[in-house]
A = this chain, B = another copy of it.
Amino acid sequence: MTNHSLPSNDLQDGSVHLLPAVSIDNVIFGFHQNALTVLLLQAKSNQKWMLPGGFVGKEEDLDTAAIRILNARTGLTDVFLQQFHVFGSAKRNRKEHLRGVLQTLGIELTPESWFMQRFITIGYYALVNYEQVIPQADVTSLTCAWQDVSQLPPMLFDHEAIIDKALQALRLQLNYQPIGYTLLPKEFPLKSLQTIYETILGRKLDRSNFSRKILSYGILEKKEKHYSGAAHKAPFLYSFKEETYFKALQNGLKKEF
């Protein structure tokens, strides 16, 4: 497999080395200036925006393919990336877009070719550190850029619905698995973590309630005060305790029953 998720020779020779009927779409979330952002590509063919996706090698694990596709667009390798849903409506209509893609690339394919068939797509979501990403467009796109999740530009076929579903999965995850490790610097004030939770949930949280709950999970470690000029006003910094964090990611934050 090459490092590009959609080199033009894939479109012609796909049936030789790629799994038919299956694609992967990555919903890559970052956090920037108190907003939740998602990494998107803008299609050359019609200027609509799309998720960074790709195909699966015939001898390639699904998870390996998802990581390869993410790496090609972000430069990142070690990332929290989780399968959340397969989108398999028979009405997923790629036809119009595919015609545009082929025209843009100057490729001709018959309607029977591998690339023109119905595909189901497996959605993965990732939580990445915005600062560490170097967005990289592919041959079918004008640009690769972050977009505010709450103000998405016009999107290709069902990609807006895929982002919505990823956001639902992320909101649910907040209630039983920790998040933040991959979104924040090593040390951070509690307020930053609260802002991430508020942004994902789309509502304000009570400061002392949040602090009590998040500390009760035992995934955070208190560090020194953050010196910012006025020592008495400086907030404490926290870091994640890696061992308990990753254990909670596996087993859940708290058992209800």
Contacts and interface: CB of A to CB of B under 8 A. Distances in A.
Interface of A: 19-22, 56-64, 83, 85-86, 88-91, 118, 120, 122, 172, 174-176, 197, 201, 205, 210, 213, 252-257
Nearest to A256: B175
Which of A57, A213, A255: most chain B Cβ within 10 A? A255
A61 B88 contact: yes
Nearest to A60: B90
Contacts of A64: 90
Contacts of A86: 62, 83, 86, 122
16 contacts: A19-B118, A22-B120, A56-B120, A59-B118, A60-B90, A61-B90, A62-B86, A62-B120, A83-B85, A83-B86, A86-B122, A172-B252, A174-B256, A174-B257, A175-B255, A176-B176
Contacts of A58: 90, 118
A20 B61 CA distance: 17
Nearest to A123: B86
Work out how many copies of this chain go into the complex. Answer: 2
Given A22-B22, A83-B85, A59 B90 contact: yes
A20 B253 CA distance: 39
Contact of A61 (B89, B174, B201, B255): B89
Which of A57, A60, A175: most chain B Cβ within 10 A? A175
Contacts of A21: 19-22
Please list the 4 inter-chain residue pairs (A to B) with the smallest Cβ-Cβ separation, ordered nearest first.
Answer: A62-B88, A175-B256, A20-B20, A59-B90
B61 A256 contact: no
B175 A252 contact: yes
A125 to B, nearest CB: 14
B174 A120 contact: no
B90 A210 contact: no
Contacts of A83: 85-86
Given A56-B120, A61-B89, 5 more contacts: A21-B22, A57-B90, A62-B86, A86-B86, A213-B256
Contacts of A22: 21-22, 120
A41 B59 CA distance: 28
Given A174-B257, A175-B255, A210-B257, A120 B90 contact: no
A22 to B, nearest CB: 6
Contacts of A122: 86, 88
A257 B19 contact: no
